[in-house]
Structure 1
């Protein structure tokens, strides 16, 4: 670093930026407004406040130029190649707004290749919130992180802290063992000494006998290379053989910051008179990883809808409140509803809202620009509608906005990049559609590329500027049958591609995105009307579905959303399933 000199100007104009060791003309007031450091320098009687030229020794020219440029333009261009250096200087010179942008960049753009660097940086500078975000990213994406070169540079102590954490997300404990072995083999002479301690972070009782064979094989391989002092197999065998596989002491239990909330639903009892639609609202308090690939969800009751039971309804979360809209409470013509309720989890109170202007079930509800939109749906058992209503929470009123181009029900809607997307559904003849459109409450409908396969009563979720559709029914054989093919839409390229098919049918299922993974919950099989209480999760990185456990109650025509719940509900509720 050389000496950077600033020629401080009080007039208008600014010279072109010059190289290190030369002078740059800068307005005092611009620096004082942007930086607490310079504000103190120029306004607290320091000698620099009277100097026309100020020397700034030991500062990097390139980062300082970036911050000065930001002071004038309000634009801060960041990349992983520069963000840590710019953040350091923003801290040193107290450019608070630039610092906020840098920290936000690290949180929003964090990747498997950068999260460990962010964690180290946050720890070095005492940034506890950023450190928590980075460590949690490592836990959520451990499989991907463990395959990076940065993972191989981890200190043994830090690696062990991750391994011992309940919140570590892995498909099985064998994946944890493999990660440890890859870390050891990156520098075996130095790291074999840490092997025994690191293996205490692997929960061997959660392995199956087939998985444990790999542990034995790897230990034997190490012994063949002359590493007789390695006792992976012996210590692991002792723990594997004499521990209880189902012990909760060994189960990995993850509590995401936001909770999946399930609302209402129905059960397809062959005797219609025995069907009991649900008023219950449940939430997923924790995700549990057990032996092998066994997963489970800890469900807890949150509340009950203060109305008749609901299924084929709409739900949304806005300003921390849960909204439950429309739906039906049974299967007759007059059983469709237009009521609306909101629930505040902080006060544990429901509020009856103004009714919609139309009866609606099998609708979609989205949040767009701080308003709710109830889109399409069935107004009776044989008629769907093209109308769309907007709810204004400030006035507690519903008003019609621009209608759809055609009547729709059983469709799916999602918001990404500030725009409302709609896919599939039934038309007025109750045929399944392949269409995809962009809907705007004032401008109406713009059609996009069609899906490859028709579908209705399906799920659609937005993730990283892509739309993922799964489940539902289709018109494959002139009558409804299960749609197992899944597709993803690229909102930039306007095209659909298929991804891994569902392992089983999910018609009338709920869906949600939690921690960058897509959950499909419940539903039924159209071919034989059997129900599925299973929850499947798709990992876009691993490109596969996994079984996450079962639902607690009603399993079909349910709805789900993501909510931040008070801590006392997350840890001390007595109604645990």
Structure 2
């Protein structure tokens, strides 16, 4: 028939009906209300709920294992004869109905009264997607009044990522948390666990003393002896100020006088003890890159450096770069992201021009690096971005000529890389940025041709689509997101007119563009009249990073300001103004990757002491 109709020479094509899955779910949802189409019954107390085994098996690893185990011993011809009891799991009938609704509709109604039951049931039934939704909801509910309870609850379940996020919130807001009843009612053992943490965000040890005294005064008749023990176990007594000691001495209570005497004794014992700082300092880190060789004059080499600088200190520029532990492998053209307080580095090119698939992680608490699972593909000039606990590696090149379209994702919690759908275009050295769980891929190029096109990967639907192209073609640019909108900085393009300033390399530094996600259009941004902008478009300028920092975007790199080279300048999107942040550049290091990191104050304090001692 195909030959007679003239279709035999037509190419094969694959078609997809995009409403198929949702339509199928709607029909299955209707079918489950008919007991004759169900093949099992779930029993919870006196309640019997007809179910379909294949649907439950597809949604829950628990049910899949249960039904697989029973398949040789149970007669499934009669649905009423296959009975599954969930009483031993402690899952209520209403909770299970909510979970069934989610399985068939992908929607679940969460509220404070049911969130713990649904999350615990999702954990027991091994439904990771529902657990993530529950944890997302919990994340919106966190406040100083309830975060300790959420910390304890998530620690009991395998919610590794979300537990870490709640702990970060607890540390960052601990002074406010300690004022509420949830903390004041804790046992002395739990108070000791919390106050022993050096990650608590406090400026002075006096604030830990205040928190401890507040806990004591909530139940003074019962807590005097426990408080005396806590003074010894959680407090760095030698760091308590004279003012706080005097204020405690002037208290008229008998217990306060005992506390004062205990502190005097502890301070005497701890005089030789090392000074310990609690909490974190937010820094910019510069990782890897290239620069002049330290051993051969006139040569360049790939760097293993990891350095940090604090962007602001009391409103003044802070320009002192501090060396941290170097990477185990020198890298340039690599990817760098921060996830859960740790740095993750992947790919790049080493000193022997080998393109790498190896990866390593920096632990700021130990100031050391360790390897983690290698990527499936070696990559250089690629995108590495993070969304929650997932790290996405996209595109790049594995032979310095032909770019890749492949994408893979690394789950920090499971330690495995998984392939995802490819980009639609081959492009090396593009710009990557995340906004609203979407990964934007902007510009880049192939074999000397630069692009202005843009495509987006939606991590929720796992699909690619195109958006409006940029106004300017650019390669190796950097971008930052403000809500769902984008700001793109730097990168290079071919010079398209004879009057463009250059020194023979036929490329020019690009300016700044703004993208409105709502309106899907790009706008070039110019500096205000006679005001300093990002930098001069000279051969010396290079943008290495664009980092969101409060209400500003910090642009990091080698930024030529008419002769002087700055390493960090801040851009205020609201006022379209620029300001100087850090002048000094990291020594012998350029084309590095950078990001923000919360570094323990104790580490910075130690590194500065060690450096001053060696000078």
TM class by smaller structure: 0.5 to 0.7
Equivalences for residues 200-239 of structure 1 within 5 A: 200=232, 201-207=234-240, 211-217=241-247, 219-220=248-249, 223-224=251-252, 226-228=253-255, 230-239=257-266
Separation in 2, partners of 1:439, 1:177: 49
Equivalences for residues 6-45 of structure 1 within 5 A: 9-11=34-36, 26-29=50-53, 30-31=55-56, 34=59, 36=62, 45=74
Separation in 2, partners of 1:55, 1:31: 14
Separation in 2, partners of 1:38, 1:67: 16
1:76 and 2:108 are equivalent in the alignment? yes
Separation in 1, partners of 2:191, 2:577: 37
Separation in 2, partners of 1:130, 1:424: 35
Structure 1: tracts of 5 or more residues without a match: 1-6, 14-19, 288-294, 307-312, 330-337, 359-367, 377-386, 392-396, 490-494, 520-534, 538-545, 554-575
Partner of 2:489: 423
1:198 and 2:267 are equivalent in the alignment? no
Q: Secondary structure at the match of 1:374?
A: coil
Q: Deviations over 1:426-479 (max 9, x none)?
A: 996599998343499xxx972388888832458522589x87326779999x88
Q: CA deviation at 1:115?
A: 3.6
CA pair 22-132 structure 1, distance change in 2 beyond 3 A: same
Deviating more after overlay: 111-120 vs 401-410:
401-410
Asked if structure 2 preserves the Cα contact closer than 8 Å seen for 1:435 and 1:451, the reply is no
Q: Secondary structure at the match of 1:175?
A: helix
Q: CA deviation at 1:482?
A: 6.5
1:100 and 2:131 are equivalent in the alignment? yes
Partner of 2:267: 240
Q: Deviations over 1:201-234 (max 9, x none)?
A: 0112345xxx3422431x135x33x344543322
User: How does the TM-score come out when normalised to structure 1?
Assistant: 0.54
Q: Secondary structure at the match of 2:197?
A: coil
Partner of 1:512: 595
Separation in 2, partners of 1:410, 1:88: 45
Q: Secondary structure at the match of 1:355?
A: coil
Q: Deviations over 1:23-77 (max 9, x none)?
A: 8975444456545469959976499952799998886554333112112112234
Partner of 2:512: 435
Q: Which of 286, 308, 316 is equivalent to 2:335?
A: 316
1:300 and 2:332 are equivalent in the alignment? no
Separation in 1, partners of 2:445, 2:526: 27
1:413 and 2:498 are equivalent in the alignment? no
Q: Deviations over 1:210-262 (max 9, x none)?
A: x3422431x135x33x34454332222333344246627x5669999xx9672
Asked if structure 2 preserves the Cα contact closer than 8 Å seen for 1:123 and 1:131, the reply is yes
1:455 and 2:534 are equivalent in the alignment? yes
Separation in 2, partners of 1:496, 1:80: 40
Separation in 2, partners of 1:56, 1:343: 45
Separation in 1, partners of 2:355, 2:345: 13
Q: Which of 400, 412, 422 is equivalent to 1:355?
A: 400
CA pair 106-10 structure 1, distance change in 2 beyond 3 A: same
Partner of 1:173: 205
Q: CA deviation at 1:86?
A: 1.2
Separation in 2, partners of 1:49, 1:281: 64
Asked if structure 2 preserves the Cα contact closer than 8 Å seen for 1:152 and 1:186, the reply is yes
CA pair 143-154 structure 1, distance change in 2 beyond 3 A: same
Separation in 2, partners of 1:552, 1:176: 27
Q: Secondary structure at the match of 2:263?
A: helix
Partner of 2:170: 138
CA pair 107-388 structure 1, distance change in 2 beyond 3 A: same
Structure 2: tracts of 5 or more residues without a match: 1-31, 39-43, 311-319, 338-342, 361-370, 381-397, 404-420, 432-441, 454-469, 494-499, 503-507, 536-542, 587-591
Partner of 2:303: 280
Asked if structure 1 preserves the Cα contact closer than 8 Å seen for 2:487 and 2:514, the reply is yes
Asked if structure 2 preserves the Cα contact closer than 8 Å seen for 1:316 and 1:322, the reply is yes
Q: Secondary structure at the match of 2:228?
A: helix
Q: CA deviation at 1:116?
A: 1.7
1:152 and 2:184 are equivalent in the alignment? yes
Q: Which of 216, 219, 224 is equivalent to 1:184?
A: 216
Q: Secondary structure at the match of 1:231?
A: helix
Q: Secondary structure at the match of 2:326?
A: strand
Separation in 2, partners of 1:52, 1:411: 61
Separation in 1, partners of 2:64, 2:271: 63
CA pair 324-59 structure 1, distance change in 2 beyond 3 A: closer
Q: Secondary structure at the match of 2:479?
A: strand
CA RMSD of aligned residues (A): 6.4
Separation in 2, partners of 1:461, 1:468: 5
CA pair 173-129 structure 1, distance change in 2 beyond 3 A: same
Partner of 2:391: none
CA pair 322-498 structure 1, distance change in 2 beyond 3 A: same
User: How does the TM-score come out when normalised to structure 2?
Assistant: 0.52
Q: Secondary structure at the match of 1:117?
A: helix
Asked if structure 1 preserves the Cα contact closer than 8 Å seen for 2:286 and 2:306, the reply is yes
Separation in 1, partners of 2:327, 2:566: 32
Q: Deviations over 1:373-409 (max 9, x none)?
A: 5259xxxxxxxxxx94358xxxxx9985436534779
Q: CA deviation at 1:551?
A: 12
Deviating more after overlay: 233-242 vs 342-351:
342-351
Separation in 2, partners of 1:421, 1:33: 42
1:161 and 2:193 are equivalent in the alignment? yes
CA pair 314-88 structure 1, distance change in 2 beyond 3 A: closer
